[in-house]
Amino acid sequence: MEKILDENYYDLIIDNILVPSYDIGNNITYLNDRHSLLHVLSGQVDACDLGTSPYHRFPSIYTLTSTISLEASGVTAVQRNPALNLFGTGALIGIIDTGVDYMHPAFKRNDGSTQIVSIWDQTIQTGEPPQGMTFGSEYTKELINLALQSSEPLSVVPSQDEVGHGTALASIAAGNPNTGQDFSGVAPDAELVVVKLKQAKNNLRRVVFVPDDVICYQESDIMLAARYLLSVADRLGRPITICTALGSNDGSHDGQSALSSYYDYIARLSRVCIAISAGNEGNSGRHYYGNITASPYNSEFELRVGIEDRLFSIEIWPYAPSRLSIDIISPSGESTSPIYPRINTCERFSFVFSTGVIWVNNISFEEETGEQLILLRFDNPAEGIWRFIVHNLEDEPFSFHAWLPSGDALSRNTYFLQPNPDTTITSPGNSIHTLTVTAYNQDSGSILIDSSRGYTRTGFPKPSLAAPGYELTCALPNNRYGTLTGTGAATAHTCGIIALIFEWAVTRGNYTSITGVDINQLLIRGASRSPNNTYPNNIWGYGQIDVNGVFERLALF
């Protein structure tokens, strides 16, 4: 526990086959069959620690994917149909997010007992951690019920949701109906398992250049959270859908990150389904795509840097077989001169007439993908227009992507001057076998302009489906109700729908070995599609989610 919480240690994600035998013990936290955490003493944090240790070993930074209507997706049809009458009985919905306000009426049964099976709060170290974990505190249903009966609930279960995002997601998926607020979760008879994530370590923030005041989480803690949810479902013998309304622009955007590969694996397990938000990066100006077809095989692109953004990074991913050098030109016109690809290098650049320091890792091949990666990290850059010139050393046509950080890690005043809205789905939404959910306005029938677009960097069709995600009524901490908009809200809605399918398949015994991949295909087949569109496409995926359509296509004629 000391090392996983200690700011003097990096939590590096490593492949288990690369772990030396002498490191096994206090330096290792097991994640899954493929990955573990290696706790490495960081000492005085240096930006070039990322370079000494490979890029992919540092956990990616994840941000929230929503900002603080059932008819549109066929839910009421399957609930009113006496042959179906599905409300999620027997299913679990796992929430990995900012926690939950367990005292809210949305999570209480009619007899006043809780709808929550357990809470693992990674931020509280005074209670007992879950079995197999070394940090945080687990609060069981029995403890939560005791807290609800107490005059001082927080003295029994001190877990709270200070942000409100997790509470909103949980209520959209499975909240208890409140007619006065015109509110109901999609699957109100399902039960919840909640993980409150601890925020990313400060030493990781300093290495990847994320400001201290940004709400963000690290990939390794999300993986541990998923492992916990699976253990609860396995112990209870119940099906579970895992709601991940978090996203990251770190990485190659092709489903090869540690979290993406882990989710790909568990999505193929029986009685487990993963739903992931596509992200809200479609209109943010944080993606640039360059495609150079003619000599001299150079590409110049520009970035507007706002005065608010003092720490941030850019990742540039070219396609093989190209090898790119990069020249960075400050708003004052000063140039770094070309920086060439190398192995295990990290270079620091400053300017005479412009503020700011830039660290550049031009990595010949990034270990996890085998692709070239140019990582630029900015510290106190000058406000204004920065220019970048990339040149293909192979003197042949080439293409590349560049991404800025996602979510609230950056203000809206820093953006590419010629952005591309495509290929903006955040990780782990690029994983192959999971259900990636985008959001549309269920009132107007139009896609939300901020919703991220596909495909993946390697051309795999994403998103999977579109779900209602505009101003969904939700619970908020302190007995309030409000609305949630974005792909995170749409993902919570989808998780409620998956719980209805689990009730039909597992609780009622119609298909007890069903997997997440099975459910994905059922939802894709049952989706509503416009005759004016071609599917799949990079905006709507395979269409609008329609659970009633699933059962119509399962019916025998």
Q: Provide the pLDDT for residue 26.
A: 65
Q: What is the pLDDT of residues 238-261, one digit of tens each?
A: 999 999 999 999 999 999 999 999
Q: What is the pLDDT of residues 317-331, one digit of tens each?
A: 999 999 999 999 999
At residue 124's C-alpha, the angle toward residues 122 and 127, to 5°, is 105
pTM passes above 0.75: yes
Structural domains of the chain ordered from first start: 2-60 (no CATH), 71-282+427-554 (3.40.50.200), 287-416 (2.60.120.1290)
- The mean pLDDT value for 286-309 works out to 96
Question: Percentage of the chain surpassing pLDDT 90?
Answer: 82
* Helix intervals (H) in 209-349: 219-236, 258-266
Q: Provide the pLDDT for residue 289.
A: 98
* Residue 473, number of CB atoms within 10 A of its CB: 19
Tell me if 221 sits within 8 A of 135, measured CB to CB. Answer: no
Element (H, E) at 497: helix 487-502
Q: What is the pLDDT of residues 492-515, one digit of tens each?
A: 999 999 999 999 999 999 999 999
Short-list 254, 275, 215, CA closest to 62: 215
Strand 191-196 to strand 92-97: parallel, antiparallel, or no bridges (unpaired)? parallel
Q: What is the pLDDT of residues 46-55, one digit of tens each?
A: 899 998 888 8
Is residue 18 pLDDT above 70, yes or no?
no
Q: How confident is the model at residue 32 (pLDDT cuts 50, 70, 90)?
A: confident
Q: How confident is the model at residue 344 (pLDDT cuts 50, 70, 90)?
A: confident
Tell me if 117 sits within 8 A of 191, measured CB to CB. Answer: yes
Short-list 115, 162, 156, CA closest to 139: 156
Residues 213 and 256: their CA atoms lie apart, in Å, by 29
Backbone phi, then psi, for 339, in 5-degree steps? -115, 120
Helix, strand, coil share of the chain (percent; to 5): 25, 30, 45
Q: What is the pLDDT of residues 121-161, one digit of tens each?
A: 999 999 999 999 999 999 999 999 999 999 999 999 999 99
Which residues, 6+ apart, have CB-to-CB distance to 235 below 8 Å? none
Q: Provide the pLDDT for residue 28.
A: 84
Q: Provide the pLDDT for residue 22.
A: 44
Residues 155 and 82: their CA atoms lie apart, in Å, by 44
Tokens of 339: 């920086």
- The mean pLDDT value for 520-532 works out to 95
DSSP secondary structure of 25-41: TTTEEE-SSSEEEEEEE
- The mean pLDDT value for 347-353 works out to 93
Is residue 296 pLDDT above 60, yes or no?
yes
Return mean pLDDT, the chain.
Answer: 93
Look up tokens 């994840």; give the residue. Answer: 62
Q: How many Cα neighbours within 13 Å face the side chain of 209?
A: 26
Q: Provide the pLDDT for residue 557.
A: 47
Look up tokens 């949701």; give the residue. Answer: 161
Q: Provide the pLDDT for residue 68.
A: 65
- The mean pLDDT value for 354-381 works out to 94
Is residue 469 pLDDT above 80, yes or no?
yes
Is residue 69 pLDDT above 50, yes or no?
no
Residues 279 and 285: their CA atoms lie apart, in Å, by 13
Is residue 70 pLDDT above 60, yes or no?
no
Q: What is the pLDDT of residues 415-429, one digit of tens each?
A: 999 999 999 999 999
Short-list 59, 56, 14, 61, CA closest to 35: 14
Distances, alpha carbon 551 to alpha carbons 513, 548, 556, in Å: 18, 5, 10
Q: Provide the pLDDT for residue 508.
A: 96
